[in-house]
């Protein structure tokens, strides 16, 4: 199976310079001039977007970025649906959009596999597909024109490298709160973190899914605390699960950030506030502001211009001091 497979619609790759302009936009783009549609004509580009759900602060910020950018003012007509973290809901939304004959399909796939049939259907209907945020594994050739999102393996590595630098030599026991089972960020962050702590004396003693939700993180952490009395570090695949873990740790009479260190991924406002307050120790960012890049890719695709098949969004990382400095200007 091709993971992160190269998929094109017969379009040449953009030059490195052009790629740079598409990568890591952090602000919303201006409206298309004169209200003209993006393809160059007067008609709006119809876009069917299937979102994963509303599971986290990150997802809320990502949805806002898309809805603020794929607007009539910018030349688009957006049909948006929330799949409530269920693949069957995403597939049925995509099928509806195909039946409606939208110009472009976009989606953030809840899990990596199981998309071949609907991707074939989109291809047969000649509707270009853009992936945002999460990757798919597919056998379908030229299944999508572009995949816009972070490098999740790198995020896991950054988290693991910081843990190794701070805690190697202490013999610390780590528990891991995984994201949604089968999703690209859960698979990749797990892999990246494990590879970064290899060769250190940090040991992952338990690892379970909290489904990227605050409630899930809290419940799984309660179970970890009951099963293990020697937890030193929590690695949570997102801020929300880390925030749930904080509640469980406090309820167990321990101090998060001190008795049990916490490392998370996302850097949304609530997570950054907990980091600034010393309850989380380190956060690797996952930038949710994908709307501007999505708008550019759709416009280029519809205009028959080349698009880059992989647009990697740049992420930073924050310790307590950096979180205090970044919080006042944080957009999400
Ligand atoms: O796919 C990105 C991940 O999905 C975010 O890190 C997490 O918060 C969200 O649910």
Looking at the predicted structure, is the pLDDT value of residue 1 above 90?
A: no
* Same structural domain, 216 and 233: yes
For 199-238, write each residue's pLDDT tens digit.
Answer: 999 999 999 999 999 999 999 999 999 999 999 999 999 9
Domain of residue 269, CATH code: 3.40.50.2300
* Same structural domain, 146 and 292: yes
* Same structural domain, 40 and 118: yes
* Segment 153-176 mean pLDDT: 98
* Same structural domain, 173 and 253: yes
296 lies in some domain: yes
The pairing of strands 2-3 and 137-138 is antiparallel
* Same structural domain, 176 and 255: yes
* Segment 126-150 mean pLDDT: 98
Q: What integer pLDDT is reported at residue 9 of this predicted model?
A: 31
Domain span at 85: 16-150+287-314
Looking at the predicted structure, is the pLDDT value of residue 21 above 90?
A: no
The model's pTM is 0.89
4 lies in some domain: no
* Same structural domain, 80 and 66: yes
* Same structural domain, 58 and 205: no
How many structural domains is the chain composed of? Answer: 2
In ligand 1, the atom with minimum distance to the C-alpha of 237 is: 6
Looking at the predicted structure, is the pLDDT value of residue 31 above 90?
A: no
* Same structural domain, 182 and 301: no
Looking at the predicted structure, is the pLDDT value of residue 2 above 60?
A: no
* Segment 107-119 mean pLDDT: 98
Q: How far apart are CA 109 and CA 132, in angstroms?
A: 8
Give the CA distances from residue 315 to residues 26, 149, 191, in Å, rounded to whole numbers and listed in that order.
11, 10, 18
* Same structural domain, 165 and 103: no
Distance 33 CA to ligand 1 centre (A): 33
* Same structural domain, 74 and 174: no
Distance 112 CA to ligand 1 centre (A): 14
Distance 10 CA to ligand 1 centre (A): 31
H or E element in which residue 291 lies: helix 291-302
Measured by CA distance, the residue closest to atom 3 of ligand 1 is 185
Give the pLDDT band of residue 39 (cuts 50, 70, 90).
Answer: very low
* Same structural domain, 133 and 80: yes
* Segment 118-145 mean pLDDT: 98
For 229-284, write each residue's pLDDT tens digit.
Answer: 999 999 999 999 999 999 999 999 999 999 999 999 999 999 999 999 999 999 99
* Same structural domain, 94 and 208: no
């Amino acid at each position: 199976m091709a993971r992160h497979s190269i998929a094109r619609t017969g379009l040449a790759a953009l030059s490195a310079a052009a790629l740079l302009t598409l990568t890591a936009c952090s602000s919303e783009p201006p409206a298309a001039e004169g209200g003209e549609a993006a393809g160059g004509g007067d008609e709006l580009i119809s876009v069917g977007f299937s979102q994963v759900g509303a599971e986290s602060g990150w997802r809320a910020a990502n949805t806002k970025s898309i809805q603020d950018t794929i607007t009539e003012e910018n030349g688009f007509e957006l049909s948006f649906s929330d799949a409530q973290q269920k693949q069957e809901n995403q597939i049925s939304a995509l099928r509806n959009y195909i039946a409606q004959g939208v110009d472009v399909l976009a989606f953030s796939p809840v899990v990596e596999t199981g998309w071949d049939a609907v991707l074939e259907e989109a291809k047969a209907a000649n509707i270009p597909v853009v992936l945002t945020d999460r990757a798919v594994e597919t056998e379908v050739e030229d299944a999508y024109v572009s995949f816009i999102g972070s490098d999740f393996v790198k995020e896991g590595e950054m988290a693991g490298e910081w843990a190794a630098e701070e805690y190697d030599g202490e013999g610390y026991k780590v528990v891991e709160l995984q994201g949604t089972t089968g999703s690209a960020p859960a698979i990749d962050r797990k892999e990246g973190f494990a590879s970064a702590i290899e060769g250190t004396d940090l040991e992952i003693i338990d690892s379970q899914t909290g489904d990227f939700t605050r409630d899930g993180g809290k419940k799984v952490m309660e179970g970890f605390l009951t099963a293990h009395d020697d937890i030193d570090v929590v690695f949570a695949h997102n801020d929300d699960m880390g925030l749930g873990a904080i509640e469980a740790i406090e309820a167990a009479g321990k101090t998060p950030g001190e008795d049990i260190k916490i490392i998370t991924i996302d850097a949304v406002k609530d997570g950054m506030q907990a980091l600034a307050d010393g309850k989380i120790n380190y956060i690797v960012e996952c930038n949710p502001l994908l709307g501007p890049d999505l708008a550019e890719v759709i416009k280029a695709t519809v205009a028959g211009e080349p698009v880059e098949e992989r647009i990697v969004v740049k992420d930073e990382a924050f310790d307590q001091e950096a979180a205090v400095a970044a919080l006042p200007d944080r957009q999400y």
